[in-house]
Structure formats: structure tokens, C-alpha cells
């Protein structure tokens, strides 16, 4: 991932330095367990433990010649350790090292993303409470429907991200799996007990069964979960973009001092952060597709997944990390315009109360079909001719014979619009 979208902590997890440190943690732990079992003599274990080290530059130098990153790593470590290095990687295949170390990196990345999720969930809850009683028009198909609470949007989003928290926790657990089972998963040159002990000591689960690799359904599950979280972040960002449209302007991204919105038009204040989030969600969906493509490999393993994973696993984590942080920043500093919400509710001259009127007429004995046709007739007149809907209703003799003037006035009042909001919030623990 480019530096522009890489935050320091997540970037460190996917750095070459950290990757090779995870490789060494795995190799060292295998050696330590083998020493405990009497396979490695004490003096050789002492040499391995005290002398081992690596140099990223040296590894890359060796890899340029041998064209194999694991061999390059092991060669560099051997240069530090000396003769005792003959015990390092004994009985292992490259994927024992790579997949187990990758599980460490994915576990660390997943925990960081879970912390970011927690921050966002807390923020959404605070915003839901802040705007609990703020009326605005609800829109279906982009068209004015009935009034809602602005806080409900945040409450819906919070519940969605609570579900994501559960999904991601499961996906992290699913991917924190290692294997030390040899070239085709048969432990041909290893005691199966080594795998259990090594994985436990590293904080991983041991794969119940493997071939040359940990099966890629686990990684696909993880990346698909990141893409799903990204889709929900895009959902929020899209809402903000719509609310910031000039003719709506009910909410708006913060615009910092000195910021400029256009090289050509000095007046522009664009929702660039939300647009960026929407664009990055597309990347995550692409990574998820590639992760799914990696599930089907030849026989006990081929290497077609490797090149894709070198890009998609770091980049998907880095991308979502950035999106979560950016989303929290946008929401924390969101500008809200209650007066514009009120103005927009009044744009249709009372049409938003059509269902209130429909149900009131039905309650007085009018058939639903007749009441619907009557209300719709006046609604279409109001739409097409720009007339006041309430005025048309009050002037209709058939409606006036069914509902009093005071009752019609009450139907067009906003006082009862949030009557059930308290119940909704209580249902969700607020």
C-alpha cells in the first residue's frame, strides 16, 4: 500500500523488519521445543538463542541471487549462528514458517482493527445520543418519506458495527492458526507434538489438519470480513456525501482553515474524505475476490496464491485501518445543520404527513382504497402545482365531513413524530 494511506502502527506490522522478526520467532520456537525434547544439544541451542539475528538488506541481497526468500532468510541467520544453524528449519517446509508467521502478523493486524472498531462504535453511540431528538426528513428512493430522528442513523450504524465486531473477532480467531507439519502435512520428519507446543507458545491454534499450507478458506474469511466492514464504512460515507449536497446541506464534513476545495472554483467545499472512503471500499472488495480465488490450489499446494497474498493481505489490513481512522475523524468533526433539516422537512408543504391522514380517515370508517385515492389526489395536485397540501386537505368537503379542522391540524403537527424513539433506544440498551 502507498504511504499516503498507511498509518504507522499498521504499517509496522507489515514491514519487512517485522515480517522477518515473526519468521525468526517461529524458527526459534521450533528450535526451543526441539531442544527441550533433546533433539538439539544444549550448546547448539545456546548458540542459536544467543547469536541469531538477521539483516533485511542482507536477506534481500541473498534473495536476488537464490530467488527464494525463505532460503535467503535462513542463509542470513546461519551466517550469524554458525555451525549450530544446521538444526534451524530441520524437518520444516517453507510454508511451516511462512503460514505460521503470517498468522502472527494477521493476528496483530486483526487486534489493531478491533481496537479501531471499538473506537468507532463508541463514537457512533455518542452521536446517537446527541441527536436522539433531532428531527429530519427520512428519505426512501432519495425522495422525502416521513420524518425520522437524525440520531437513529447513528444508532443503526452502531448496531451494524457491533455485528462487525463479532464477525471480525471470529475471523481473527479463524486466521490465527499455524502449522508445523512438513512438506505435505504428514509430519514425515517431525513429531506432531512439536506443532502443538510451538503454536501454543506463539499464541496460535494448531491447524487440526493441513497439507503443505494452512487452508486458504481461513484467509478468505478474514479478508471478506474486512471488505464487509469497508462496505458499511462506505454506507456511512455515502450518506454524508448526500447530506452535504448544496440543495440538502443537513450535515457536512469539517473544512479546516486554509483548506481548498478546487483548483478552479474557490467556493467549493467537497466531501473529499467521504469520497476517499468510498473509493477505498472498492479496493477491499477487489482484495476479497482475490482471496476467494486463492482457496482453490492444486493438490497439496501450488504457489499461485503467494503473489496475490503478498499484496492483498497487507493492503487489505492497511486499507481498512485507514478507513476506520478516517471515518472516526469525519464523524467526530461532523457539522450538523438543524435549521436546514427543518427547512427540508417543510419543502413539500406537508406531503410528509400523507400516511397520518390516510390512517386517520381509515380509522373513521373510510375504506383504505377510497382514503388512499383521496389523499393521493391532493398530494399529486400539491406536487404538480406547488400548492399547500394541508390547505387542499382542509378545503376538501368529504375530508372535512370526516375529520375536524383541529384534528387535521394535529395530524400535521411534528409533536408526536418521535413518540416511539425512546422505546427504540431502550431496546438497544440506551
pLDDT single digits (tens) 184-212: 999 999 999 999 999 999 999 999 999 99
CB of 150 within 8 A of CB of 263?
no
140 membership: H or E segment, kind and range: strand 135-140
Residues 141, 256, 263, 267: which is the catalytic one? 141
Model pLDDT, residue 318: 98
Q: Cα 163 vs. chain centroid, distance in angstroms?
A: 11
CB of 262 within 8 A of CB of 268?
yes
Contacts for 367 with CB less than 8 Å, ≥ 6 apart: none
426 within some domain: no
Asked whether residue 129 falls in the same domain as residue 224, the answer is: yes
Asked whether residue 232 falls in the same domain as residue 113, the answer is: yes
Question: What residue numbers bound the domain in which 225 lies?
Answer: 92-342
Give the CATH number of the domain where residue 41 resides.
1.10.275.10
Asked whether residue 86 falls in the same domain as residue 110, the answer is: no
Contacts for 53 with CB less than 8 Å, ≥ 6 apart: 77, 80
CA distance 181 to 194: 9
Asked whether residue 261 falls in the same domain as residue 181, the answer is: yes
418 within some domain: no
CA distance 199 to 249: 54
Asked whether residue 244 falls in the same domain as residue 104, the answer is: yes
Instruction: Determine whether 50 is exposed, middle or buried from the number of CB atoms within 10 Å of its CB (0-12, 13-18, 19+).
Output: exposed
CA distance 283 to 275: 13
427 within some domain: no
Residues 262, 304, 404, 413: which is the catalytic one? 262
Domain ends where: 320, 342, 364?
342
Other CB atoms closer than 10 Å to residue 311's CB: what's the count? Answer: 12
Q: What is the pLDDT along the chain (430 residues), one digit of tens a residue?
A: 789 999 999 999 999 999 999 999 999 999 999 999 999 999 999 999 999 999 999 999 999 999 999 999 999 999 999 999 999 999 999 999 999 999 999 999 999 999 999 999 999 999 999 999 999 999 999 999 999 999 999 999 999 999 999 999 999 999 999 999 999 999 999 999 999 999 999 999 999 999 999 999 999 999 999 999 999 999 999 999 999 999 999 999 987 777 776 666 777 788 889 999 999 999 999 999 999 999 999 999 999 999 999 999 999 999 999 999 999 999 999 999 999 999 999 998 889 999 999 999 899 998 999 999 999 999 999 989 988 898 999 998 998 889 888 998 898 888 887 888 989 999 988 7
Asked whether residue 136 falls in the same domain as residue 190, the answer is: yes
Q: Are strands 205-206 and 177-178 parallel, antiparallel or unpaired?
A: parallel
Model pLDDT, residue 176: 98
Asked whether residue 10 falls in the same domain as residue 57, the answer is: yes
Asked whether residue 98 falls in the same domain as residue 38, the answer is: no
Other CB atoms closer than 10 Å to residue 10's CB: what's the count? Answer: 24
Question: Which residue do the cell numbers 451494524 mark?
Answer: 160
| Grid cell for residue 53 | 539475528
Structural domains counted in the chain: 3
Question: Which residue do the cell numbers 431502550 mark?
Answer: 426
Model pLDDT, residue 263: 64
Output the CA angle 223-225-229, nearest 5 degrees: 115
Q: Cα 40 vs. chain centroid, distance in angstroms?
A: 45
Output the CA angle 158-162-166, nearest 5 degrees: 165
423 within some domain: no
CA distance 267 to 308: 43
Asked whether residue 105 falls in the same domain as residue 81, the answer is: no
Asked whether residue 97 falls in the same domain as residue 62, the answer is: no
Contacts for 166 with CB less than 8 Å, ≥ 6 apart: none
Domain ends where: 45, 74, 90?
90
Asked whether residue 98 falls in the same domain as residue 61, the answer is: no
Domain ends where: 43, 61, 90?
90
310 within some domain: yes
| Grid cell for residue 392 | 387542499
67: Cα within 13 Å, side-chain hemisphere: 0
Q: Which of 100, 126, 251, 228 is nearest to 170 (CA)?
A: 228
CA distance 196 to 201: 9
Asked whether residue 318 falls in the same domain as residue 224, the answer is: yes
Q: Which of 375, 386, 370 is nearest to 353 (CA)?
A: 375
Contacts for 415 with CB less than 8 Å, ≥ 6 apart: none
144 within some domain: yes
Give the CATH number of the domain where residue 385 resides.
1.10.40.30
Model pLDDT, residue 261: 66
259 within some domain: yes
419 within some domain: no
147: Cα within 13 Å, side-chain hemisphere: 29
User: In 3-state terms, what secondary structure has residue 184?
Assistant: coil
417 membership: H or E segment, kind and range: none
pLDDT single digits (tens) 338-362: 999 999 999 988 899 999 999 998 9
Model pLDDT, residue 174: 97
Q: Any catalytic annotation for residue 141?
A: yes
CA distance 288 to 228: 9
Give the CATH number of the domain where residue 311 resides.
1.20.200.10
| Grid cell for residue 177 | 492458526
Amino acid at each position: 500500500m502507498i504511504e499516503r494511506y498507511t498509518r504507522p502502527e499498521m504499517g509496522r506490522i507489515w514491514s519487512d523488519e517485522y515480517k522477518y522478526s515473526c519468521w525468526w520467532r517461529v524458527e526459534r520456537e521450533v528450535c526451543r521445543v526441539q531442544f527441550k525434547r533433546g533433539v538439539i544439544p544444549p550448546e547448539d541451542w545456546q548458540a542459536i538463542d544467543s547469536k541469531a539475528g538477521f539483516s533485511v538488506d542482507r536477506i534481500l541481497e541473498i534473495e536476488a541471487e537464490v530467488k527464494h526468500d525463505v532460503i535467503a532468510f535462513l542463509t542470513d541467520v546461519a551466517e550469524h549462528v554458525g555451525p549450530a544453524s544446521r538444526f534451524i528449519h530441520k524437518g520444516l517446509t517453507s510454508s511451516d514458517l511462512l503460514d505460521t508467521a503470517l498468522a502472527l502478523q494477521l493476528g496483530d493486524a486483526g487486534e489493531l482493527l478491533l481496537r479501531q472498531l471499538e473506537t468507532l462504535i463508541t463514537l457512533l453511540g455518542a452521536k446517537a445520543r446527541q441527536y436522539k431528538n433531532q428531527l429530519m426528513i427520512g428519505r426512501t428512493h432519495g425522495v422525502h418519506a416521513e420524518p425520522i430522528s437524525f440520531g437513529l442513523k447513528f444508532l443503526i450504524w452502531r448496531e451494524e458495527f457491533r455485528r462487525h465486531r463479532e464477525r471480525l473477532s471470529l475471523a481473527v480467531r479463524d486466521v490465527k492458526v499455524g502449522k508445523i507439519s512438513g512438506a505435505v502435512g504428514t509430519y514425515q520428519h517431525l513429531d506432531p507434538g512439536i506443532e502443538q507446543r510451538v503454536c501454543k507458545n506463539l499464541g496460535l491454534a494448531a491447524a487440526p489438519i493441513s497439507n503443505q499450507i494452512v487452508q486458504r478458506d481461513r484467509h478468505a474469511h478474514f479478508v471478506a470480513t474486512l471488505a464487509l466492514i469497508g462496505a458499511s464504512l462506505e454506507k456511512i460515507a455515502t450518506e454524508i456525501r448526500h447530506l452535504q449536497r448544496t440543495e440538502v446541506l443537513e450535515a457536512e464534513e469539517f473544512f479546516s482553515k486554509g483548506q481548498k476545495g478546487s483548483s478552479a472554483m474557490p467556493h467549493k467545499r467537497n466531501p473529499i474524505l467521504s469520497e476517499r472512503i468510498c473509493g477505498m471500499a472498492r479496493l477491499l472488495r477487489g482484495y476479497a475476490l482475490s482471496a476467494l480465488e486463492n482457496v482453490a490450489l492444486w493438490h497439496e499446494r501450488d504457489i499461485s496464491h503467494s503473489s496475490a497474498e503478498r499484496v492483498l493481505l497487507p493492503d487489505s489490513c492497511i486499507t481498512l485501518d485507514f478507513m476506520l481512522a478516517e471515518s472516526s475523524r469525519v464523524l467526530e468533526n461532523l457539522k450538523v445543520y438543524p435549521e436546514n433539516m427543518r427547512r427540508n422537512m417543510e419543502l413539500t408543504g406537508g406531503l410528509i404527513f400523507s400516511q397520518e391522514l390516510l390512517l386517520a380517515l381509515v380509522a373513521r370508517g373510510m375504506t383504505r382504497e377510497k382514503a388512499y385515492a383521496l389523499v393521493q389526489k391532493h398530494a399529486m395536485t400539491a406536487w404538480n402545482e406547488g400548492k399547500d397540501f394541508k390547505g387542499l386537505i382542509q378545503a376538501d368537503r368529504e375530508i372535512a365531513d370526516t375529520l375536524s379542522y383541529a384534528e387535521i391540524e394535529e395530524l400535521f403537527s411534528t409533536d408526536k413524530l418521535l413518540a416511539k424513539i425512546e422505546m427504540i433506544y431502550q431496546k438497544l440498551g440506551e
